[in-house]
Amino acid sequence: MENEERVPMDEEQSPITEAPAAGEAPPETSGEPIVILEPALEEEPVVVVEPELTASTAEEVPEIRAEAPPAPPAPPKAPVTGPAPASAAPPAKSSKMKWIIPCVAAAALIIGAALGIPAMKEQNNIKRYNQGADMIERGDYQGAYETFKELGNYEDSFTLAMYAQRGMGYTAAKELMESGDYDKAAETFDGLAGFKDSRELAAECRNEQAYQKAVALFDAEDYAAAEEAFRELGDYSGAKDYAARCAHEQADIAYNEAIQAGDYAKALEVLDSGEGRWDNEAAMRTECTNHLTYIEATQDLAAGRNYSALKKFQSLGTFLDSAERAKTCKVSKPANGEIYRNSKYSGKACTIAFKLPDNGGFYYFKIYSVNSSGKETLASTMFGRAKKTVSVKLPAGSYVIKYAFGTGAWYGETEMFGEDAVYEKLIGGDDFDSFKLKKNQKLTITFGVTNGNTGSSGESMGTL
């Protein structure tokens, strides 16, 4: 290569690092600028293989922001020589220098572009990353997902994209929940692997769905099924109150059905169960007990228990026709003499007579035949008034004599003079319970005398 004379550079010129290739003629230096067309720099395509984004059981990913990397270093400045001495004349410029300077400038541009393109890409990634993080913070999971998906494997973009993808499902599930599609919402929440409060919301959806079904059963008046459904919900959203209402409705229906059927005992059982909540429960209970008492009084009267019927009708006061029914319980007193005779004891071999005192009262006698084993069989009944003597003829045999004495109303042979009376069994002088009568023998018993030869033992209206 031909030796070249070094020429001092102007202050704005750059040092020459390369010479044109050997044998290549330098361009003419006509003083016009040189235009060098460089081929466009194409960035090599980057292929990013992204794995399929699926939900995982990872905990929530906290917000992550990338710090901007330091700016790439500026291209080194060309060294500058000191100024020429003032007395020195300006150096002549080499013709080769004019061709080299534009080439060096173009090379510098190429080197700067090579250094700047990755830095620009990094800045763009940081910007997009932070935008995605902001979207997550605002709840824009769709935008965040698309942003982090585009970033591919940059930093933890894949993890954040998965997080945003679950956020999209979370948002969709909440919309389903708000629209009342609780079944689909619960299913969607279940698939989010514990994202935020998705487990709690899934349970909330199922509870609300069950609650709505229970309410529908209640509205359809299927109170038994509704009560069971509400009780399964426990303390959820007033379910206990609804369950109590279901129980009351069932009790109310059962009560009304019992009343309509005249089954007042059943109606009382419903009231006693405590399932119902009636404001007028006391009045309902009184109505039931009054009906039951009225029914019992009617049954007593039909069975000849007139005194018992009287007491019950009187206790009912003006309930229904109780006052009028009470008047029918007292019956006319029988005539003096025998009222009833057992056909098995039709014989008349002996006589039993009762002499009654002048005490203004009334007597009722029951004469029982006693066999050898001590069994008593009613043979005859008699009625007598004061100052009268009543008698009856019976077959010979052993007899037990019981009587009732009263001064008031007569209620029939079953309850006689009621509770306000004397009921006794006569006892012979030698403390024997029965009187033995032979054929043609007559037994006369006189009441109202002192120092008599018979005694008595207490009886009652029910045992006479």
Could you tell me if residue 367 is inside a domain? yes
Where among 220, 248, 268 does a domain terminate?
A: 220
Where among 257, 278, 299 does a domain terminate?
A: 278
Mean pLDDT of 254-272: 95
Could you tell me if residue 429 is inside a domain? yes
Could you tell me if residue 78 is inside a domain? no
Q: What are phi and psi of 340, to 5 degrees?
A: -130, 140
Q: How confident is the model at residue 452 (pLDDT cuts 50, 70, 90)?
A: confident
Judged against a pLDDT cut of 50, whether residue 10 lies above it is answered with no
Query: Which has more pLDDT, 329 or 275?
Result: 329
Least confident of 80-94, 145-159, 203-217: 80-94
Query: Which has more pLDDT, 251 or 456?
Result: 251
Query: Which has more pLDDT, 25 or 86?
Result: 25
Q: Are residue 191 and residue 162 in the same domain, yes or no?
A: yes
Judged against a pLDDT cut of 80, whether residue 67 lies above it is answered with no
Could you tell me if residue 145 is inside a domain? yes
Q: Are residue 387 and residue 424 in the same domain, yes or no?
A: yes
Mean pLDDT of 186-202: 92
Tell me, rounded to whole angstroms, the distance of Cα 75 from its chain centroid.
Answer: 77
Judged against a pLDDT cut of 80, whether residue 62 lies above it is answered with no
Please report, as a single letter, which amino acid is at residue 243. Answer: A
pLDDT at 174: 92
pLDDT single digits (tens) 124-168: 999 999 999 999 999 899 999 999 899 989 999 999 999 999 999
Query: Which has more pLDDT, 446 or 4?
Result: 446
Provide CB contacts within 8 A for 205, sequence distance 6+.
Answer: 177, 182, 183, 185, 186, 189
Residue 291 token pair: 């009906």
pLDDT at 450: 84
The β-bridge partners of 201 are none
Q: Are residue 212 and residue 266 in the same domain, yes or no?
A: no
Contact 13, 96 (CB under 8 A): no
Least confident of 142-146, 326-330, 366-370: 142-146
Q: How confident is the model at residue 34 (pLDDT cuts 50, 70, 90)?
A: very low
Q: Are residue 206 and residue 133 in the same domain, yes or no?
A: yes
Judged against a pLDDT cut of 60, whether residue 20 lies above it is answered with no
Q: Are residue 237 and residue 187 in the same domain, yes or no?
A: no
pLDDT at 418: 96
Query: Which has more pLDDT, 289 or 112?
Result: 289
Residue from 167, 170, 162 nearest 198 by CA = 170
Q: Are residue 168 and residue 271 in the same domain, yes or no?
A: no
pLDDT at 276: 83
Where among 263, 278, 293 does a domain terminate?
A: 278
Judged against a pLDDT cut of 50, whether residue 6 lies above it is answered with no
Q: Are residue 107 and residue 134 in the same domain, yes or no?
A: yes
Pairwise CA distance, residues 411 & 331, whole Å: 6
Please report, as a single letter, which amino acid is at residue 363. Answer: Y
pLDDT at 430: 61
Could you tell me if residue 394 is inside a domain? yes
Q: Of 31-40, 130-139, 314-323, where does the model show the most confidence? A: 314-323
Q: How confident is the model at residue 274 (pLDDT cuts 50, 70, 90)?
A: confident
Judged against a pLDDT cut of 90, whether residue 259 lies above it is answered with yes
Judged against a pLDDT cut of 80, whether residue 428 lies above it is answered with no
Mean pLDDT of 407-420: 96
Q: Are residue 438 and residue 346 in the same domain, yes or no?
A: yes
Q: Are residue 206 and residue 128 in the same domain, yes or no?
A: yes
Q: Are residue 113 and residue 206 in the same domain, yes or no?
A: yes
Residues 414, 419, 422, 427: what is their CA dihedral angle, to the nearest 10 degrees?
60
- Give the up-direction half-sphere exposure of residue 359: CA atoms within 13 A in the CB hemisphere: 14
Least confident of 1-5, 69-73, 209-213: 69-73
Tell me the torsion sign for CA atoms 50, 54, 59, 63: positive
Instruction: Tell the burial category of 48 from Cβ atoms under 10 Å away from its Cβ (0-12, 13-18, 19+).
Output: exposed
Pairwise CA distance, residues 57 & 166, whole Å: 11
Provide CB contacts within 8 A for 352, sequence distance 6+.
Answer: 367, 391, 392, 394, 399, 401, 435, 437, 442, 443, 444, 445
Could you tell me if residue 371 is inside a domain? yes
Judged against a pLDDT cut of 70, whether residue 56 lies above it is answered with no
Judged against a pLDDT cut of 50, whether residue 29 lies above it is answered with no
How many separate domains does the chain show? 3
Please report, as a single letter, which amino acid is at residue 76. Answer: P
Supply the range of the domain harboring residue 268.
223-278
Q: What is the pTM of this model?
A: 0.60
Q: Are residue 368 and residue 256 in the same domain, yes or no?
A: no
Query: Can you tell me which residue has the tokens 């069971």?
Result: 228
Judged against a pLDDT cut of 50, whether residue 305 lies above it is answered with yes
Mean pLDDT of the chain: 81
CATH code at position 345: 2.60.40
Pairwise CA distance, residues 167 & 148, whole Å: 13
**Own/partner long-range contacts of 41-48 (Cβ < 8 Å, ≥24 apart):** 41/110, 41/113, 41/114, 41/117, 43/117, 48/152, 48/153
Contact 285, 293 (CB under 8 A): no
Q: Are residue 453 and residue 373 in the same domain, yes or no?
A: yes
Could you tell me if residue 330 is inside a domain? no
Q: How far is CA 279 from CA 161, 220, 282, 283, 284, in A?
A: 62, 24, 8, 9, 10
Could you tell me if residue 445 is inside a domain? yes
Residues comprising the chain, all counted: 464
